[in-house]
Structure 1
Amino acid sequence: MSDRSKKQVMLERMNEKKKEVRKIRRIVLIVFLAAMLLLVIGGAILYSYVAGALKPVDPDSEETVTVEIPIGSNLDSIAMKLEEAGVIKDNRIFKYYAKFNNESDFQAGTYDMSQAMTPDELLESLKTGKVYREPVFQFTVPEGLNLAQISEVIEKNTEFTADEFMELVTDEAYINELISKFPNLLTEEILNEQIKFPLEGYLFPATYPVFEEQPTLEMLVEQMIGATDQSISPYREAISEEERTIHQVLTMASLVEKEARTPEDRKSIASVFVNRLEEGMPLQTDPTVAYAHGKHLERTMYSDLEIDDAYNTYQNQGLPPGPISNAGNSSIDAAMNPAETDYLYFLADPSGINHFTKTYEEHLKNRDKYLKSGE
């Protein structure tokens, strides 16, 4: 082949390569522009969807819908309820909007909401707990009550009898159902054969509004359990880190609740129990003896201490099998955050003032000083 022919072939190949490069560049440009267009269109669609989801469902609506937010509801469940009620368009967008704005501490209650309300208006209503409907009735469960005493509160305030209440809260099938409904609160620990009543200590002391004309007994019980679930929620991480269980915390809190005469005493009493547990000493708290006997004891006599029962903390070391009563927030907090003391003993004088000591000798002196003088 002549030199001219070789040059011609080389020029033709170079021209073909240039054409291929131009084609590839055009293809890359077209793909890039298409991707950018899709990105812009997708972003516009997403923006439009989010913006639409944050607008009232129907700005002109004058109708209201009743939405009930139970005690213990979290943001996820609240958002779902609002979407189911038709007052928001997308529960996920509402949830992210609330989190982005650091909105929390929503109040339980029954609300009359409208599709004309904005997300901000809905959040404000939920935060302030503004209840638009008056409860049909309400009942109050005081602190320090056991299940039998709570049954009397139910009988006094509802159409259900104390026996019907006790039959429900001791029903094995219902207990297992509740364990499934409240898995973060109720565990297999409450099924310990030594426990007298599985739900003892799990019905929170509070005032409960009831918005149903004819509520079921199950609704009332689960309202109280839900309140306990909500009350213990702030401590879950600490409980796990300390390798304790919620059942143990509620058991300790119930002892503090029964022994404390004033709010100031709770953390000191809790410290006595903690110190005794660490020393391997029995707790020796009289309310557990009364619970073992199943009745109120005006005074705990030496003969009372002889009862052979797992709840008798004079005869058994460690915590009793379970709570002996319900406990309020301050007692739960004391069980989680006891005072740092060296106290191992305390007693209450006739006026209800507790006196704490580090040694048994000091305790005996206090007993002679505050108790024997009044006998």
Structure 2
Amino acid sequence: MDPKLPDDQLKRLQEQRHEKRIVRKIVMYVGIAIIAIALIGSISSYFYISNALKPVDPDNKKAVKIELPIGSNIDTISQTLEDKGVIRNAKIFKYYTKFKNASGFQAGTYQIPPSMSIDDIIKSLKTGKVYRKADLQITIPEGLTLDQIGNIIAKNTDYTSKEFMKLVTNEKFIKEMKAKYPETVTKDINGKDIRYKLEGYLYPSTYDFFTKKPTLEEIVEKMIAQTDAIVRSYEPQLKELGMTPHEFLTFASLLEREATAQTDRETIASVFNNRIEQGMPLQTDPTVLYALGEHKDRVLYKDLEVKNPYNTYLNKGLPPGPIANAGRASLDATVDPAKTKYLYFVADKDGNNHFAETYSEHQNNVAKYIKSQK
């Protein structure tokens, strides 16, 4: 302190220094308060989240039936689990699944007790494990036509294949399916040359039913609902390709009936695309068999002349509709075909396909793998 300063200046200087000390104290106290509040908030949030991730009732082993419909998203699943009382907080569950990078939850019926941990619930939903044994299970393989699916239904239920075909060709039922699944079952199935409107729309999979005798409508709709969910998962690719769901299922059905391996599907898809681009008929034998309405081991030359909209030897482009149901491998190959210049392929007696870019190369393959092996 300068003793030479006048008393009034000295007094002001002392007041300023005092004010600065007070300001520094206020800032310090405010800072401490903010840190304390943040710390308390963090601790509170930690305990809140930790509590939300605990089982609802560790002592309650009684399972709760949870129905997760096909097409359910994480918001719907989380809210359903909270509403059923098997998790504490839907939002925390949703964010926790994202933190764990958990996805691919399976639709179905689950039996989940309130004592189950969050991680076990997530694991169950990812694997699609059903805790309740199904009263009826039906497996539909890939590459089947409606009449073949009808035979499987007849073997596994009390319904006849005739009753099945009557339902899947019933206009009222078809109209209901169009109304329920408008993005997949579109007006394209009404084409004048289509044999069966729902051909190719019953997805190949294993279906569980939890009543001893579900109605035939329930059985068929479950398969159509699965097709809807699968097709909608390809929406970005279909939009990019400019392909409708009906064209998608039709193209994939050809691959399903022609291919014997995953690589074949992708390569055959490229052949079909190359032929379409060059204005050539697809000339695929399975469409001839579908046109004939019968199952044969060999297609004869006379068969190729059958006058039918499904015969791709006589008609260019895709047939009017699917000729069978297609599985995931064929659907994938449809939207992601191989890049080739192939225009021809022929299968040998072992089912291996041999591809060619020119007709002369194709003739050599036919001579080598077909005629020489007769």
Would you call these one fold, judging by a TM-score over 0.5?
A: yes
Match of 1:221 in 2: 220
CA 177–230 in structure 1, closer or farther in 2 if over 3 Å, else same: same
| Alpha-carbon distance change, 309 to 87 in structure 1, aligned in 2, over 3 angstroms | same
Cα shift at 1:49? 9.2
- In 2, distance between residues paired with 1:369 and 1:54? 65
Contact 1:268 1:341 in 2 (8 A): yes
Partner of 1:275: 274
Deviation (angstroms), 1:94: 4.1
Matches within 5 A, 1:154-233: 154-233=153-232
Range with greater deviation from structure 2 (342-351 or 204-213) = 204-213
Of residues 313-322 and 133-142 in structure 1, the stretch that sits farther from structure 2 once superposed is: 133-142
| TM-score (ref. length: structure 2) | 0.80
| Counterpart AA for 1:276 | R
Once the two structures are TM-superposed, the CA of residue 357 in structure 1 deviates from its matched residue by 0.7
- Distance across 2 between alignment mates of 1:158 and 1:98: 39
- Return the letter of the residue paired with 1:223: K
Deviation at 1:350, TM superposition (A): 1.8
Partner AA of 2:264 in structure 1: D
Aligned pairs (5 A) from 1:318-357: 318-357=317-356
C-alpha contact (below 8 Å) 1:70/1:223 kept by paired residues: no
User: Structure 1 stretch 202-211 or stretch 315-324: which is displaced more?
Assistant: 202-211
Kindly provide the CA deviation profile for residues 63-83 of structure 1, in whole angstroms up to 9, marking residues without a partner as x: 321113344433244334334
1:282–1:315 contact (8 Å) kept in structure 2: yes
Identity %: 53
Q: Aligned to 1:174, what secondary structure does the other structure show?
A: helix
User: 1:135 is matched by which residue type in structure 2?
Assistant: A
Residues of 1 paired with 2:192 and 2:214: CA distance?
A: 32
Partner of 1:27: none
Label 1:56 to 1:350 Cα distance change in 2 as closer, same or farther (>3 A): closer
Q: Greater CA deviation, 202-211 or 71-80? A: 71-80
Is 2:108 the counterpart of 1:113?
no
CA drift at 1:347: 0.8
How far 1:294 sits from its partner (Å)? 1.1
Instruction: Give deviations 1:58-107, integer Å, cap 9, x for gaps.
Output: 55544321113344433244334334534346655644553454321112
Residue-by-residue CA offset, 1:129-159 (whole Å, 9 max, x unaligned)? 3321122232221111111000000100111
Residue identity in the other structure for 2:371? K
Measured at CA, do residues 367 and 117 of structure 1 come closer, stay the same or move farther in structure 2, by a change above 3 Å? closer
State the 1:117 CA deviation.
4.0
Give the 5 Å matches for 1:56-135: 56-58=55-57, 60-88=59-87, 91=90, 94-117=93-116, 119-135=118-134
1:286 positional shift: 1.0
TM-superposed deviation, 1:198 = 1.6
CA distance in 2: counterparts of 1:257 and 1:199, whole angstroms: 17
Question: Following TM superposition, by how much is the alpha carbon of 1:335 offset from its aligned partner in structure 2, in angstroms?
Answer: 1.1
Provide the C-alpha distance between the structure 2 equivalents of 1:261 and 1:88, rounded to a whole number of angstroms.
Answer: 45
In the alignment, the residues of structure 2 paired with residue 91 and residue 233 of structure 1 have an alpha-carbon distance, to the nearest angstrom, of 25
Q: Quick one: distance in 1 between partners of 2:128 and 2:311? A: 43
Encode CA deviations 1:110-134: one digit per residue, 9 max, x unaligned: 3222234454443233123332112
- Further displaced range: 133-142 or 73-82: 73-82
> Which moved further from structure 2: 174-183 or 287-296?
174-183
The root-mean-square deviation of aligned C-alpha atoms, in Å, is 2.8
Q: Distance in 2 between matches of 1:153 and 1:127?
A: 28
Residue type of the partner of 1:131? V
Matches of 1:193 and 1:206 in 2, distance apart?
29
Aligned residues: 335
The range that moved more, 158-167 or 93-102, is 93-102
Residue deviations 1:11-52 (CA, integer Å, cap 9, x gap): xxxxxxxxxxxxxxxxxxxxxxxxxxxxx9xx99x9799888
Quote how far apart the aligned CAs of 1:321 are. 1.2
Matched with 1:25 is: none
Deviates more, 1:133-142 or 1:148-157: 133-142
SS across alignment from 2:67: strand
Q: Distance in 1 between matches of 2:52 and 2:218?
A: 33
Aligned to 1:360: 359
Q: What's the offset of the Cα at 1:237?
A: 0.5
Tell me how far 1:313 sits from its aligned partner. Answer: 0.8
- Residue deviations 1:199-237, cap 9 Å, x none? 111212222233222212222212222332343344221
Q: 1:297 to 1:79 in 2, by over 3 A?
A: same
Partner of 2:296, secondary structure, is coil
